[in-house]
Structure 1
Amino acid sequence: MTQQQLTPTSEDLETLSRQLGRPARDVVEIGARCVCGNPLVATTAPRLSNGIPFPTTYYLTHPVITAAVSRLEAAGVMNEMTERLEQDAGLAARYREAHEAYLQVRDEIGARTGVGPVPEIDGVSAGGMPTRVKCLHVLVGHSLAAGPGVNPLGDEAIERISPWWTRERCYCEGAWDTAGAVPSRDLSRHTKTQGLSAGDLEAKRAARREAGEAAAATEQQGETVQEQTQGMRVAAVDCGTNSIRLLIADVTYEDGVPKLTDVVRLMRVNRLGQGVDATGRLAPEALERTFAAADEYAALIRKHGAARTRFVATSASRDAENRQEFVDGIRARLGVEPEVITGDEEAALSFAGATSVLAGRNGSKTLVVDLGGGSTEFVLGTSEGVQAAKSTDMGCVRFTERHLVSDPPTEAEIAIARGEVLDIIAQVLPTVPLADADRLVGVAGTVTTVTAHALRLAEYNAEAIHGADLDIARIDQAAGELLHMDRSTRAALPYMHPGRVDVIGAGALIWQTIVDRVAELTDGRVSSAITSEHDILDGIALSAAP
């Protein structure tokens, strides 16, 4: 590949952003291209623009090849390859040579892009090299970038995904959204620094360091002022299976009761739970998406001077065997320890957030259902607090990957999925007496999207959605429509977030089934459901206040 082909163009960055579903950042080169010219592999420098060392030089961006490699990982190929490395000395030697080649090329890329040596990751490559296999996506990315004969296991994986992807064909048509707006993106580091002298590059780095010191001073000043006014600015991050969200808010007190005033409220779809149900591990591209969002959030937290930050991680990171990699990455970016909370803690925070802005009913029992990507929490309580809670392994991402694989889903897939939802509700009943509920409140993106569809909104409008009280028939109709639509039809809806297009069908099915079952269990006493835009994120922010 020539230097001109390596250098990312503005069109390349746009395509990468569309492929990833988020802004492409710190892309210094295009490691490999489709036969049509579109990127297959993004190349990053060994140190990111925020100063963090980054050992993973190559990562797959094309959705078709990424999904194909995920199939191999789900089938246990990584364990098989690791066992062969222990048994085959020749294969182990070639794999170690691939590791050395990876390090050499990474150093060359660092020199080429003005980053220079990164001593923190000396001798550390990626993908498990040189002794084991822990990420096939990295090995395939290396093989595609380096060419055949460099990484034996990457080459083998490319051969094994041939039923779904080959080098000779273009698989780009329909593989990513080309009609919607491009995710807002920064220019790559390569584009920003191209043509700068060594002195200019060092000046840019010095400016970044000074900006960080100034932000720290601002944060310290902000904390002093907040303490004097008996209030506090806090930051809350909710990292779930499908999305990662940030709330920066001012906490004030009225008659001893904490109230939140939003400063910043953001959501990015990171799909951290991609493949976790099948592999038990967090995928490298899911971690990369999550860390990119964490970098963005860290900058905002510094800018707005939050005195305290609490980062809560839920279902996907709770289930993953490599969650320490996630924990270490978040700590490096935000300076706080991510709390991988239990399902019961998640339920309590969801209840606190959802009910903090809803008018109470004396003596009434509220059932809050927080329907996420990998888990759903059922929480029953009153104005005095939580009485019973249960977290379940049921969510829109998990059920899409497990059951609703067709587009649109078949009636057989829907029947099996609905049956499992009913089974899970039955398992909830011994812990949470759903029949005691006087009202039902639904929170999180699935519920708000179903509500937006029921209201036939011209665009997503949080004010119109929050507090909407929809009868069961209206919820059934809206959920049923979303469930049976194909993905292109869903994507055209004006209130549909691109990151929910493929999973909203499963979410709608789960929400519809829960609403119908609660109505049955309460003998019709609960005949509607209230939608709350405030949920676990608000609960996290409230818990961060003194």
Structure 2
Amino acid sequence: MESIAITEATAAGDRRRTPARSEPLYAAVDLGTNNCRLLIARRTADGFEVVDAFSRIVRLGEGVGATGRLQPAAIHRTMAALRICAGKIRRQNVILSRAVATEACRQASNFPTFRDRVRRETGIELEMIPAGEEARLAAAGCAPLLDPAVPHAIIFDIGGGSTELTWLEFDSDGHAVTLDAVSIPFGVVSLAEQHGGHEVSAETYEAMSAATMAALAEFEARNNLRGLIAQGRVQMIGSSGTVTTLAGVHLGLPRYIRSQVDGCTLTFEEARGASRMLLGLDYAARAAYPCIGRDRADLVLAGCAILEAICETWPVGRLRVGDRGVREGILFDLLAEAQRRHAAKPSG
């Protein structure tokens, strides 16, 4: 994985500016169990610049665990979000795009029907990707946050229906190489639906964390990460709404501010303190808390329980927070593909 910078067009004029023909645009859509996310970007000298973005909580995976099917209300919410994505992609004259669907769609027997409807009504070609590809994309999206001075890294992405983990090391040329990856079937939506998310007791919280730890045990057994952690040779990066929310809570932000969260560092003690503070609040208090709101109030504690399990299993002591992941990984792939196509064109 090459370390590539990500910049954002921050001035209002930059966001509205139509790119010149020499600046083609690329789009990435990540349709997860909980969120529908879009990034549109252009290449820069050292990475890419985001020119448009969209994110909406759609809860596509609501009820999938119990029924094995995408539910009509969830499909309706998701189609509305995908129509917005499609409109932005058309207006920006994107030349290359990729749209992926993850755990909820992997579990749903009616995904083919849903995929065909998305294509028919929005023009978006939705691709259901396996868990290994999701983990690869999430890790690639976070690669710019890696410290090459630390030889190994754990990158995790706590999603709605699953959690992806990637174990990396730097080779002799300074490139990050994936050694192992796993997807465990524990995410904020699936755990909240199983254990309840509105009112969470300390016992329920511990049960969610213990179940996650049990699921992580095999990955630890075959890689012995703890041995390298004891030598100080491992870094950790967390990419998800859970870690970005906890960072915002810890920082005391009056509202979510990406520039202050993305790339910041949380010690395990700070993360646990924020988690336990939220555990002491009822649903209404969590919903009223800055950086959480009603859309996340019933899911955040499930995410905290997963995070605590990860931190307990691999006591690195601190983690780098990434407000980035699958979408950014897709964009890096698209930039590389465009470069290959350009190089393959006959000269003259």
TM-score interval (norm. to shorter)? 0.7 to 0.9
Q: CA deviation at 1:497?
A: 4.1
Q: CA deviation at 1:359?
A: 5.0
Q: CA deviation at 1:360?
A: 3.0
Say yes or no: does 1:529 pair with 2:319.
yes
Contact preservation (8 Å) 2:145, 2:320: no
2:102 pairs with 294, 310, 314, which one?
314
Write the mapping of 1:185-204 to structure 2, written as runs, cut at 5 A: none
CA deviation vs aligned residue, 1:156-177 (integer Å, no higher than 9, x gap): xxxxxxxxxxxxxxxxxxxxxx
> Residue type of the partner of 1:364?
P
Match of 1:440 in 2: 236
Q: CA deviation at 1:324?
A: 1.0
2:217 pairs with 426, 447, 459, which one?
426
Q: Secondary structure at the match of 1:429?
A: helix
Q: CA deviation at 1:302?
A: 0.9
Contact preservation (8 Å) 2:132, 2:183: yes
Match of 1:241 in 2: 33
Write the mapping of 1:372-521 to structure 2, written as runs, cut at 5 A: 372-382=159-169, 383-405=175-197, 407-430=198-221, 432-435=223-226, 436=228, 438-519=234-315
CA deviation vs aligned residue, 1:263-295 (integer Å, no higher than 9, x gap): 112210000010111111111110111100011
Measure, in 1, the Cα distance between the counterparts of 2:333 and 2:221: 29
> Residue type of the partner of 1:401?
E
Measure, in 1, the Cα distance between the counterparts of 2:147 and 2:202: 40
CA deviation vs aligned residue, 1:223-259 (integer Å, no higher than 9, x gap): xx65xx4x531110000001000001112354xxxx1
> Residue type of the partner of 1:246?
L
Inter-CA distance 370–359: structure 2 relative to 1 (3 Å threshold)? closer
Which region of structure 1 is more displaced relative to structure 2, 413-422 or 451-460? 413-422
> Residue type of the partner of 1:367?
I
Measure, in 1, the Cα distance between the counterparts of 2:222 and 2:278: 31
Contact preservation (8 Å) 2:249, 2:290: no
Task: Using the aligned pairs only, state the percent identity.
Answer: 32
Greater than 3 Å deviation, 4+ residue runs: 430-434
Q: CA deviation at 1:457?
A: 1.1
1:360 pairs with 147, 150, 173, which one?
147
Contact preservation (8 Å) 1:390, 1:432: no
Contact preservation (8 Å) 1:404, 1:414: no
> Residue type of the partner of 1:348?
R
TM-score between both structures, scaled by the size of structure 2: 0.84
Inter-CA distance 413–384: structure 2 relative to 1 (3 Å threshold)? closer
Match of 1:133 in 2: none
> Residue type of the partner of 1:398?
S
> Residue type of the partner of 1:428?
F
Aligned residues: 309
Contact preservation (8 Å) 2:202, 2:279: no
Write the mapping of 1:77-92 to structure 2, written as runs, cut at 5 A: none
TM-score between both structures, scaled by the size of structure 1: 0.54
2:57 pairs with 269, 272, 275, which one?
269
Contact preservation (8 Å) 1:312, 1:540: no
Q: CA deviation at 1:341?
A: 0.5
> Residue type of the partner of 1:394?
F
Which region of structure 1 is more displaced relative to structure 2, 484-493 or 292-301? 484-493
CA deviation vs aligned residue, 1:435-480 (integer Å, no higher than 9, x gap): 3461110011111001111111111111111111111111111012
Q: CA deviation at 1:315?
A: 0.5
Measure, in 1, the Cα distance between the counterparts of 2:94 and 2:224: 39
Measure, in 2, the Cα distance between the counterparts of 1:465 and 1:393: 27
Contact preservation (8 Å) 1:379, 1:432: no
Match of 1:295 in 2: 83
Q: Secondary structure at the match of 2:135?
A: helix
**Which structure exhibits the higher relative contact order, with contacts defined as CA atoms closer than 8 Å and separated by 6 or more residues?**
2
Contact preservation (8 Å) 2:152, 2:167: yes
Contact preservation (8 Å) 2:288, 2:294: no
> Residue type of the partner of 1:544?
L
Inter-CA distance 379–325: structure 2 relative to 1 (3 Å threshold)? same
Contact preservation (8 Å) 2:31, 2:101: yes
Structure 1 regions of 5+ residues with no counterpart? Answer: 1-220, 520-525
Q: CA deviation at 1:431?
A: 5.0
Measure, in 2, the Cα distance between the counterparts of 1:497 and 1:306: 33
> Residue type of the partner of 1:343?
A
Measure, in 2, the Cα distance between the counterparts of 1:432 and 1:348: 18
> Residue type of the partner of 2:158?
L
Inter-CA distance 248–485: structure 2 relative to 1 (3 Å threshold)? same
Q: Secondary structure at the match of 2:314?
A: helix
Q: CA deviation at 1:433?
A: 4.3
Q: CA deviation at 1:500?
A: 1.1
Match of 2:346 in 1: none
CA deviation vs aligned residue, 1:63-116 (integer Å, no higher than 9, x gap): xxxxxxxxxxxxxxxxxxxxxxxxxxxxxxxxxxxxxxxxxxxxxxxxxxxxxx
1:338 pairs with 118, 123, 126, which one?
126
Measure, in 2, the Cα distance between the counterparts of 1:319 and 1:443: 22
Q: CA deviation at 1:364?
A: 1.5
Measure, in 2, the Cα distance between the counterparts of 1:275 and 1:409: 19
Structure with higher strand content = 2
Q: Secondary structure at the match of 2:145?
A: coil
Inter-CA distance 433–349: structure 2 relative to 1 (3 Å threshold)? farther
Q: Secondary structure at the match of 1:467?
A: coil
Q: Secondary structure at the match of 1:441?
A: strand
Structure having the higher Rg: 1
